[in-house]
């Protein structure tokens, strides 16, 4: 994988700090930067895979960044100049460290609140049917949201109501009111909590021909899907940021379940069914 411009800039800034590079911080690799990288790798040759001297300039640049990550206690695996998933994850952490001064919180440091005051059922079809009725047949209630919601796929379209299963109307309303008191309109917009992804949807689970999505019972909501995609983990999903802990804990105290907080995926999704 080719290094991003922002990643090359990280290498340039670090090499400037080490006195090995005096060129422009422009995110471009050229002869001057390549020479600086060679000097850096020579200084750390004992940490490199044998034969690194024969690597291409592009692979050496990746190794340089891997060394920077290792020096800052970011695990990038073997320093081999190969840009795989582990290196990509390390680069993301390095960028955050450079901007904020601290490393991002790991998923293992997230401890969800496990409460269930309304005795929401487990996510099993029989239990969901007993508690909520059959999928796609729920009586829906329109719950007022204290702040305007923009549809995440069409930001010009707005709404102030959310359709939800009638058994969840009071609980959802309580969550929204508490969230509004905590963050206010400014904080809600800053964190993308006004970017709405939908609730009731009579559909099967993604990738399944038989299993119903919890959206089909009208018991799930999606928030800010464009920045919290299905397979994104806590290092990438915006709603995994520590500033959003109060957001998730408000849901959890009402018994709602976050796939992100428990399974580190689908951070957009919250549902009134346990797993």
* Domain annotation for the chain: domains and CATH numbers: 5-104 (no CATH), 109-271 (3.30.1380)
38 CB neighbour count, 10 Å cutoff? 15
Kindly report whether the global pTM for this prediction surpasses the value 0.85.
no
Give the tokens for residue 10: 């990280």
What is d(CA 143, CA 217) in angstroms, rounded to the nearest whole number?
16
C-alpha dist (Å) from residue 187 to 144, 147, 241 = 19, 11, 13
Q: Return the higher-pLDDT residue of 235 and 53.
A: 53
Quote the longest CA-to-CA distance of the chain.
Answer: 69
pLDDT, tens only, 169-199: 999 999 999 999 999 999 999 999 999 999 9
d(CA 59, CA 228): 31
Q: Please give the average per-residue pLDDT across 69-85, as a whole number.
A: 93
Confidence of residue 1 (pLDDT cuts 50, 70, 90): low
Q: What is the pLDDT of residue 92?
A: 86
Average pLDDT, the chain: 95
Q: Quote the CA–CA distance of 3 and 217 in Å, as a whole number.
A: 44
CA distance linking residue 8 with residue 157, whole number of Å: 39
Q: What share of the chain is helix, strand, coil (3-state, %, to 5)?
A: 45, 15, 40
């Amino acid at each position: 994988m080719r290094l991003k411009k922002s990643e090359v800039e990280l290498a340039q800034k670090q090499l400037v700090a080490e006195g090995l590079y005096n060129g422009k911080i422009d995110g471009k690799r050229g002869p001057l930067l390549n020479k600086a990288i060679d000097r850096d790798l020579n200084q750390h040759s004992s940490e490199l895979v044998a034969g690194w001297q024969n690597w291409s300039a592009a692979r050496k640049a990746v190794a340089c960044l891997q060394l920077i990550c290792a020096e800052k206690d970011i695990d990038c695996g073997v320093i081999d100049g190969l840009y795989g998933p582990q290196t990509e994850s390390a680069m993301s952490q390095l960028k955050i460290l450079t901007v904020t001064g601290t490393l991002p919180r790991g998923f293992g440091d997230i401890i969800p609140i496990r409460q269930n005051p309304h005795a929401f059922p487990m996510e099993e079809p029989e239990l969901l049917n007993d508690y909520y009725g059959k999928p796609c047949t729920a009586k829906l209630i329109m719950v007022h949201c204290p702040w305007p919601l923009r549809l995440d796929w069409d930001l010009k379209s707005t709404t102030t109501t959310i359709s939800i299963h009638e058994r969840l109307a009071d609980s959802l309303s309580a969550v929204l009111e508490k969230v509004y008191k905590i963050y206010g309109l400014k904080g809600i917009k800053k964190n993308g909590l006004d970017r709405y992804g939908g609730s009731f949807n009579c559909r099967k689970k993604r990738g399944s021909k038989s299993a119903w999505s919890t959206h089909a019972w009208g018991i799930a909501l999606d928030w800010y899907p464009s920045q919290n995609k299905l397979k994104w983990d806590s290092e990438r999903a915006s709603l995994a940021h520590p500033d959003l802990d109060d957001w998730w804990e408000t849901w959890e105290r009402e018994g709602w379940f976050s796939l992100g907080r428990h399974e580190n995926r689908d951070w957009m999704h919250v549902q009134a069914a346990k797993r």
